[in-house]
């Protein structure tokens, strides 16, 4: 079984799709990094304590 | 953009860089830098990663307002030489795409800044986007020669947002940084309007050069530059100032006022003879001026943080 050859559209939009892909990867890394920072700093614990009063 | 749109427009396919251009990367660079200075000048330490991503989301918010500005102003961008190569007038991106991108990134940047930093800073960013798009772009730009003066506030908010990321509020120091950019914007853009010829005239944008004439614009540039100099030097005696800032501000402002005096003394014949050399130099100097002034604020903040200020 072979892969279908790329449609002309895929070739034409390769740069664009690659750019969007990299932005999404960067976004995931940012959310992950923020989560790590907030958890290790105890921000979520403080917020939960505030909610509980 | 769909295939059909691309064919309909009869143009080449928009690339990633074309969408990036919608966000006005050069304006974003200024936003990043001034927000970064506002963040570091604040007396509250922020985790480096939180600070970095907060500045990034402020920049994305700035870029979103740039995209919405290009969507709304596509008709006049087509007319002006300076803007006719932007993605929409060049036929690379459809106006509706710019609108969608602008609104999506506006919401995204505000929510992400709220989650990363605090909701006061996020609200401030939302207000800045609203101010630039609704107040400046949609209302003032085409209706009053004060467009640049009042609209300049939008470009002056980022250091205050940076400050708000760290402190969760506003302060006199933040307002001083706001005042610096606010007073700097009119002479910067009026100098540009002087050497852009009849660009604004053709687009029916009531710039000062169009409504009050070029002579009056030269006078206004001098007046605003002198007021800016007073604020910039005065800020040296506030919490954001210090010896390094004061010396930098003094030298820069002498240089800047001399440039404004040169513009004021020139006639249109003088300017035409050397193709607006003095006006072009003043415009370039204005970019360096703002950069150097904020670097001085950054140095003072650094010295302060490491307890070196007392030694100077």
Encode pLDDT of B14-23 as tens digits: 889 999 999 9
Say how many C-beta atoms besides its own lie within 10 A of residue B160's C-beta. 25
Q: Which of A34, A42, A43, A47 should be substituted to probe chain B, the one whose Cβ sees the most B Cβ atoms within 10 Å?
A: A34
Token readout for A34 is 């923020």
Which of B135, B169, B203 is at the close of a domain?
A: B169
Token readout for B25 is 């990367």
pLDDT category of residue B4 using cuts at 50, 70 and 90: very low
Q: B82-105 b/e with 16+ CB inside 10 Å = b? A: ebeebbbbbebbbbebbbebbbeb
Look at residues B202, B232, B62 and name the one whose alpha carbon lies nearest to residue B136.
B62
How distant, in Å, are the alpha carbons of B45, B52, B70, B96 from that of B48? 9, 6, 33, 37
Same domain, B127 and B261: no
Same domain, B113 and B257: no
Token readout for A49 is 């304590």
Instruction: Check pLDDT > 90 for residue A29.
Output: yes
Token readout for B62 is 């700035």
Q: Do B13 and A16 touch (CB under 8 A)?
A: yes
CATH number at residue B103: 1.10.357.140
Same domain, B227 and B254: yes
Same domain, B130 and B13: yes
Chain B residues within 8 angstroms (CB to CB) of chain A: 3, 13-17, 19-20, 47, 49-50, 53, 56, 115-116
Do the beta carbons of residue B59 and residue B28 sit within 8 Å?
yes
Same domain, B76 and B215: no
Same domain, B216 and B244: yes
How distant, in Å, are the alpha carbons of B6, B189, B258, B268, B270 from that of B273? 44, 22, 20, 8, 5
Cβ neighbors of B3 (< 8 A, separation 6 or more) are A9
Instruction: Check pLDDT > 90 for residue B283.
Output: yes
Q: How many domains does chain B have?
A: 2
Q: Do A13 and B49 touch (CB under 8 A)?
A: no
Closest chain A CA to residue B52: A30
Same domain, B266 and B145: no
Same domain, B2 and B125: yes
Which of B125, B148, B169 is at the close of a domain?
A: B169
Q: Do B16 and A9 touch (CB under 8 A)?
A: no
DSSP per-residue letters across B228-282:
HHHHHHHGGGSTT--HHHHHHHHHHHHHHHHHHHHHHH--HHHHHHTTSHHHHHH
Alpha-carbon span B291 to B282, nearest angstrom: 14
> B246-279: per-residue pLDDT in tens?
999 999 999 999 999 999 999 989 988 898 999 9
Lowest-pLDDT range, A39-48, B100-109, B116-125?
A39-48
Q: Do A16 and B49 touch (CB under 8 A)?
A: no
pLDDT category of residue B2 using cuts at 50, 70 and 90: very low
Q: Do B16 and A37 touch (CB under 8 A)?
A: no
Rounded to two decimals, the pTM is 0.87
Do the beta carbons of residue B93 and residue B18 sit within 8 Å?
yes
Same domain, B290 and B146: no
Do the beta carbons of residue B61 and residue B106 sit within 8 Å?
yes
DSSP code of residue B63: H
Mean pLDDT, chain B, integer: 91
Reported as type and span, the H/E element at residue A48 is helix A43-52
Cβ neighbors of B292 (< 8 A, separation 6 or more) are B248, B252
Which pLDDT belongs to residue B8?
A: 43
Which pLDDT belongs to residue A44?
A: 66
pLDDT (mean) for B135-139: 94
Highest mean pLDDT among A8-22, A29-43, B109-123: B109-123
Look at residues B134, B128, B117, B189 and name the one whose alpha carbon lies nearest to residue B154.
B128
Q: Do B49 and A33 touch (CB under 8 A)?
A: yes
Nearest CB to B47; choose among A13, A20, A37: A37
Same domain, B161 and B309: no
Closest chain B CA to residue A22: B16
Q: Do B16 and A20 touch (CB under 8 A)?
A: yes
Which residues in chain B are contacts of A18 at CB distance < 8 A? 16
Q: Which residue has the higher pLDDT, A49 or B201?
A: B201
Which pLDDT belongs to residue B82?
A: 87
Same domain, B153 and B193: no
Which of B146, B169, B192 is at the close of a domain?
A: B169
Alpha-carbon span A38 to A45, nearest angstrom: 9
Q: Do B50 and A12 touch (CB under 8 A)?
A: no
Do the beta carbons of residue B80 and residue B200 sit within 8 Å?
yes
pLDDT (mean) for B93-102: 96
Which pLDDT belongs to residue B146?
A: 87
> B217-250: per-residue pLDDT in tens?
999 999 999 999 999 999 999 988 899 999 999 9
Which pLDDT belongs to residue B207?
A: 87
Nearest CB to B53; choose among A12, A20, A34: A34
Same domain, B117 and B257: no
Instruction: Check pLDDT > 80 for residue A31.
Output: yes
Selected residues 12-41 of chain A with any CB under 8 Å from a CB in chain B: 12-13, 15-16, 18-20, 30, 33-34, 37, 41
Closest chain A CA to residue B18: A16
Q: Do B49 and A34 touch (CB under 8 A)?
A: yes
Look at residues B155, B180, B162 and name the one whose alpha carbon lies nearest to residue B296.
B180
Which residues in chain B are contacts of A16 at CB distance < 8 A? 13-16, 19
Token readout for B291 is 């950069």
Residue B100 sits in which domain range?
1-169
Q: Do B13 and A12 touch (CB under 8 A)?
A: yes
């Amino acid at each position: 079984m072979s892969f279908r050859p790329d449609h002309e559209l895929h070739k034409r939009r390769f740069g664009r799709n690659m750019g969007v892909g990299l932005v999404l990867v960067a976004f995931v890394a940012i959310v992950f990094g923020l989560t790590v920072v907030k958890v290790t700093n105890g921000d979520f614990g403080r917020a939960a304590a505030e909610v509980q009063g | 953009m769909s295939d059909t749109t691309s064919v309909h427009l009869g143009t080449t396919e928009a690339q990633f860089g074309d969408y990036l251009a919608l966000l006005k990367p050069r304006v974003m660079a200024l936003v990043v830098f001034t927000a970064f200075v506002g963040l570091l000048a604040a007396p509250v330490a922020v985790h480096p990663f939180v600070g970095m991503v907060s500045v990034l989301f402020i920049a994305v918010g700035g870029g979103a307002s740039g995209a919405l500005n290009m969507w709304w102003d596509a008709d006049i961008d087509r007319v002006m030489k300076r803007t006719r190569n932007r993605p929409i007038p060049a036929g690379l991106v459809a106006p509706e795409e710019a609108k969608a991108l602008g609104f999506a990134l506006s919401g995204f940047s505000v929510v992400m800044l709220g989650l990363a930093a605090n909701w006061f800073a996020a609200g401030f960013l939302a207000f800045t986007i609203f101010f630039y798009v609704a107040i400046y772009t949609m209302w003032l730009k085409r209706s009053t020669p004060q467009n640049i003066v009042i609209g300049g506030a939008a470009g002056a908010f980022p250091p205050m947002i940076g400050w708000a990321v760290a402190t969760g509020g506003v302060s006199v120091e933040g307002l001083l940084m706001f005042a610096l950019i606010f007073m700097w914007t009119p002479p910067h853009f009026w100098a540009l309007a002087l050497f852009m010829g009849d660009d604004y005239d053709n687009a029916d944008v009531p710039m000062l050069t169009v409504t009050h004439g070029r002579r009056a614009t030269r006078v206004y540039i001098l007046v605003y530059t002198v007021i800016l100099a007073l604020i910039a030097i005065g800020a040296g005696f506030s919490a954001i100032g210090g010896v390094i800032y004061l010396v930098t501000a003094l030298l820069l402002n002498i240089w800047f006022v001399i440039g404004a005096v040169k513009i004021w003394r020139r006639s249109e014949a003088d300017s035409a003879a050397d193709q607006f050399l003095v006006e072009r130099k003043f415009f370039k100097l204005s970019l360096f001026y703002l950069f150097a002034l904020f670097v001085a604020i950054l140095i003072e903040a650094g010295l302060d943080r490491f307890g070196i200020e007392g030694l100077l």
